[in-house]
Amino acid sequence: MRSVLAGAAVCAAAAVAFPLTSYAADEHSRPAAKPAVNMEVVVKAAQIDPRRADDTQTPGAHDSVLSVERALQAKGLLAKKYVDGYFGTTTVAAYTRFQKSLGYTGLAANGLPGKASLEKLGTNRFTVTHPLSPGKRVTSHGATMNTRTVAMLTAAERRLGRRLVIEQGSYNPGGDPTSAGTHDGGGVLDISVKGMDARTRSTVARQLRTVGFAAWVRNPSQADWPWHIHAVALSDPDLASQAQHQAGDYYLGKNGLASRKPDDGPKVTPIRTWEEFQRRH
């Protein structure tokens, strides 16, 4: 009887031991988690860093930008000395080359990371969080724009309690030559100020800024154009290069013009993108 019980005890011990040994092996063989790249902060850095006079990095963007730069280096598109967490002009150029290597052209190869290209770059290297998308191109307010811009414009109108009139929409290459190509891509609008006094113009620009636009009241003394409000949707992945520069300058307290003089618009702090605005409202 004792031998039967002893045999049962041995079997029971073995049944316990084997799963524990297997579990321990699984723990040691489990692959390391891939780093996460926050697309929102990467795109923000790609707008701001190239416009800086120094190599100051965009707050909160270092780790995500570094993962992107390491992936670009691994593909032979970026020299090691530029893998530093700073998304400057050299990194923008490297990212453009990567986009073109995927067969992308035009706005899809603007050096500003889009969701699809960022995910492809991250294959086996990193995961993408906080994705951004311009959405589909639609007609709204009698002009072409993407659905992200429509949502932003609608939110600003709701806060203002009035409907705005669009003089020039987005995706308008070869349009008004005074626009210097800023409307070639998405996220950019020119808004009529007809019938508005100075205070109303400033209020409209402020509410546009509040929901995530870089917005300035433009006047005839600046260039050969009539009074209007020029608005650039921050972090729109479809921004033309010229509009990317304006977005970066806005963050840096500039007027968005070639003169790069101090910002002359209503101060809204902190500066928030559309996604950041949504999270707070």
| 83 and 172 share one domain | no
In a domain, 28, yes or no: no
2-13 confidence digits (pLDDT tens): 344 444 444 444
pTM of whole model > 0.75? yes
Using the 3D structure, point to which of 129, 150, 174 is the last residue of a domain.
Answer: 129
| 125 and 159 share one domain | no
Q: Residue 204: phi, psi to the nearest 5? A: -65, -45
Q: Sort strands 36-38 and 127-129 into parallel, antiparallel or unpaired.
A: parallel
224-233 confidence digits (pLDDT tens): 899 999 999 9
In a domain, 13, yes or no: no
Number of domains in the chain: 2
Structure tokens at 53: 């006079």
77-86 confidence digits (pLDDT tens): 999 999 999 9
| 141 and 269 share one domain | yes
| 40 and 173 share one domain | no
Q: Residue 26's pLDDT is what?
A: 56
DSSP state of 133: -
Using the 3D structure, point to which of 112, 129, 146 is the last residue of a domain.
Answer: 129
- As a whole number of angstroms, the distance between CA 26 and CA 233 comes to 48
Q: Residue 2's pLDDT is what?
A: 39
Q: Which residues contact 214 (CB under 8 A, 6 or more apart)?
A: 231, 232, 234, 246, 247, 249, 250, 256
| 198 and 253 share one domain | yes
Terminal CA-to-CA distance of the chain, rounded, Å?
75
Look up the domain containing 91 and give its range: 36-129
| 120 and 252 share one domain | no
Distance of CA 201 to the CA centre of its chain: 27
Longest dimension (CA), the chain: 107
CA angle 254, 259, 263 (to 5 degrees): 25
Using the 3D structure, point to which of 74, 101, 129 is the last residue of a domain.
Answer: 129
What is residue 272's three-state secondary structure? coil
Mean pLDDT of the chain: 91
Structure tokens at 114: 């889009």
Please state the length of the chain.
281
227-278 confidence digits (pLDDT tens): 999 999 999 999 999 999 999 999 999 999 999 999 999 999 999 999 999 9
In a domain, 192, yes or no: yes
